[in-house]
Structure formats: C-alpha cells, structure tokens
Amino acid sequence: MNSWILAAQAATAVTLLLLSVLVVVWGKNYRQIRSRQTLGMLVFAVILLIENGFAFYVYSLDPVLSVWFSEQVPNGPWVAMAAFHVLEAVAVAFLTYVTLD
C-alpha cells in the first residue's frame, strides 16, 4: 500500500469537513439574504464538496479503484496528486477561517 494515498485520503476528508461548515454558513446566509452573491458562494461550496466526496470515494471506498490507487499507482504520480489535495485543503481552511469571523 502506497503511503501517499493516506495523505490524499486525509486531505480530502479534512476538505470535506471544512466544506460542510462553509455550506452551513453560506446556506444560512442565503436563507436570510437572497442574492446572487450569497447563492454563488453556496453553489461553489456545494460543487467543491461533491468533487471532494467523489475523490474520497474513489480513493477509499470504490472496490476496484481504491485498490488500484493504493497498489498500482507509483510514487511519482502520487506525490503530485497528494500535493493537489493538501493544497486544496489548506486553501479551503483559510477560507473557512475568514468565513467563521
């Protein structure tokens, strides 16, 4: 089992959690402020949530792909993919930090 997959799994799980927080905050705001801007933020967070949910499913739950990703994918590609997910988690973490203000 490739240990980089663990980094990708952890990063997508953290991103999923943070995006759920953003969906709740922006959903509440949209209920109170029915504007295109508040709707835009909500839709953005929901779509990114779906993307991360899909990534998490593929890496951890899908019976064929999860095995393929953890055993067949060499280190090189994994370093790049794990970096994408970690950077995305950091970006969403900052957005959550300023949004909870």
Question: Which tokens in the block code for residue 59?
Answer: 């890496």
Candidate residues 1, 32, 61, 72; the one interacting with other proteins per rule CB under 8 A: 32
Is residue 25 at the binding interface for other proteins, with CB under 8 A as the rule?
yes
Q: Are 14 and 88 in contact (CB under 8 A)?
A: no
Q: 68-88: b or e for each residue (b if 16 or more CB lie within 10 Å)?
A: ebbeeeeeeebeebbeebbeb
With contacts defined by CB under 8 A, name the span among 9-17, 20-28, 69-77, 81-89 that binds other proteins: 20-28
Contact set for other proteins, span 35-74 (CB under 8 A): 35, 37-38, 41
Question: Which tokens in the block code for residue 11?
Answer: 């990063």
Residues forming contacts to other proteins in the complex (CB under 8 A) are 25-26, 28-29, 32-35, 37-38, 41, 98-101
